[in-house]
């Protein structure tokens, strides 16, 4: 079994990535209040890079801990283990989102309510990125990558160079919405780039450290410019990877209590943040607090609760329910 040491810089980078994910979810999927251009600028900027950065880290962690699979028997055991790692949580929390929207639409405002529970549930199985629980697509795609990559590595004997070329082509070719192939095609290259960086981790980290100031400066400048002028998203996405990883390798960032805490509980935060924020948004709309001026006051509450309510539930409630604790770990 792989016993490599944990990497604090990767854990803190995960914490930064999930923080950006929650920040990008504050306004939900629609019914936006007026006069909050300040948040829309932040939202627009975050969505230029945050998921490719997240996927890069996922690929890095996957390959850093990966043990080569040589037989069909070993692959079968591996696939079952990965299925039970991700599928139950995806189905449970996706189902809760669909059920909550189906029932809640009769009482409060609900973003993108489904036609019915079973229709919505089938959608999260076959078209996750277009479903009424679309914010969970990352888990579906991550499971897909982790099931497919060992198969793709067999003919290459665990070498990633050819797969990187294929991943880059897939990004520009695109794919069907069925079974999350659209998002997997979009992010295959950065996931594989993360795996490649993990396979040469010492060289990658030396490169990141050497050019940290340059990549941070260029990334920040181009990202700020992209809010006001058109800049293609993909160069920004790719530039964010060494810039933000380099930032999280600085001593103050890599030992940050909060980033390491968020990184530790990334999975449960990802599963639950939109549920928590959606409930709060429904109450704010119901009681007429969903306006631009009031959003300035309530947005920190939405951000804090979207991060910390899942953590508190995981730490204090889920251990009392072993099956729930197990599938969210």
Instruction: Give the residue extent of every domain in the chain.
Output: 8-327
- Residue 304 is encoded by which pair of tokens? 């804090």
Integer Cα distance of 194 and 57 in angstroms: 6
Confidence of residue 294 (pLDDT cuts 50, 70, 90): confident
The Cα angle at residue 124 between residues 96 and 326, in degrees rounded to 5: 55
Integer Cα distance of 131 and 114 in angstroms: 8
Integer Cα distance of 319 and 307 in angstroms: 18
Contact 138, 14 (CB under 8 A): no
Angle between helices 266-286 and 72-104 (to 10 degrees): 10
Query: Does residue 3 have a pLDDT over 70?
Result: no
Q: What is the DSSP string of 91-138?
A: HHHHHHHHHHHHHHTTTS--SS--SSHHHHHHHHHH-GGGSTTGGGHH
Task: Give pLDDT, residue 126.
Answer: 96
Q: What is the pTM of this model?
A: 0.94
Confidence of residue 30 (pLDDT cuts 50, 70, 90): low
SS3 139: helix
Return the CA Rg of the chain.
20
Q: Which of 250 and 1 is assigned the larger pLDDT?
A: 250
pLDDT (tens digit, 9 = 90+) per residue, 180-208?
A: 999 999 999 999 999 999 999 999 999 99
Contact 208, 7 (CB under 8 A): no
Q: Which of 126-135, 163-172, 288-297 has the lowest mean pLDDT?
A: 288-297
- Residue 80 is encoded by which pair of tokens? 């079952």
Q: What is the mean pLDDT of the chain?
A: 92
Task: Give pLDDT, residue 4.
Answer: 77
Contact 182, 174 (CB under 8 A): yes
pLDDT above 90: percentage of residues in the chain: 75
Q: What's the average model confidence in pLDDT over 162-171?
A: 95
Query: Does residue 2 have a pLDDT over 70?
Result: no
Task: Give pLDDT, residue 221.
Answer: 95
Query: Does residue 29 have a pLDDT over 80?
Result: no
Cβ contacts of residue 302 below 8 Å, gap of 6+? 26, 277, 280, 281
């Amino acid at each position: 079994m792989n016993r490599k040491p944990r990497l604090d810089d990767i854990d803190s980078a995960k914490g930064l990535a999930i923080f950006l994910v929650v920040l990008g979810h504050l306004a939900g999927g629609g019914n936006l209040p007026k006069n909050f251009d300040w948040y829309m600028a932040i939202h627009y900027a975050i969505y230029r890079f945050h998921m490719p950065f997240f996927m890069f880290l996922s690929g890095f962690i996957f390959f850093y801990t990966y043990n080569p699979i040589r037989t069909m028997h070993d692959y079968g055991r591996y696939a079952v283990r990965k299925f039970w790692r991700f599928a139950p949580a995806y189905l449970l929390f996706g189902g809760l989102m669909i059920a909550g929207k189906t029932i809640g639409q009769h009482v409060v405002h609900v973003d993108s309510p489904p036609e019915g529970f079973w229709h919505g549930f089938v959608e999260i199985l076959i078209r996750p990125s277009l479903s009424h629980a679309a914010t969970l697509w990352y888990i579906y795609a991550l499971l897909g990558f982790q099931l497919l990559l060992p198969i793709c590595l067999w003919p290459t004997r665990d070498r990633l160079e050819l797969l990187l070329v294929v991943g880059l082509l897939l990004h520009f070719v695109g794919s069907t919405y069925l079974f999350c192939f659209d998002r997997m095609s979009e992010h295959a290259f950065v996931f594989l780039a993360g795996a490649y960086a993990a396979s040469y981790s010492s060289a990658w980290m030396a490169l990141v450290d050497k050019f940290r100031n340059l990549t941070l400066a260029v990334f920040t400048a181009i990202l700020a410019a992209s809010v006001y002028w058109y800049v293609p998203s993909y160069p920004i996405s790719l530039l964010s990877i060494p810039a933000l990883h380099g930032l999280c390798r600085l001593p103050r960032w890599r030992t940050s209590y909060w980033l390491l805490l968020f990184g530790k509980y990334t999975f449960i935060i990802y599963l639950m943040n939109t549920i928590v924020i959606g409930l709060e948004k429904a109450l704010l709309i119901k009681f007429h607090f969903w306006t631009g001026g009031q959003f300035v006051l309530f947005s920190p509450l939405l951000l804090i609760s979207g991060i910390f309510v899942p953590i508190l539930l995981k730490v204090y409630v889920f251990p009392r329910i072993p099956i729930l604790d197990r599938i969210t770990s």
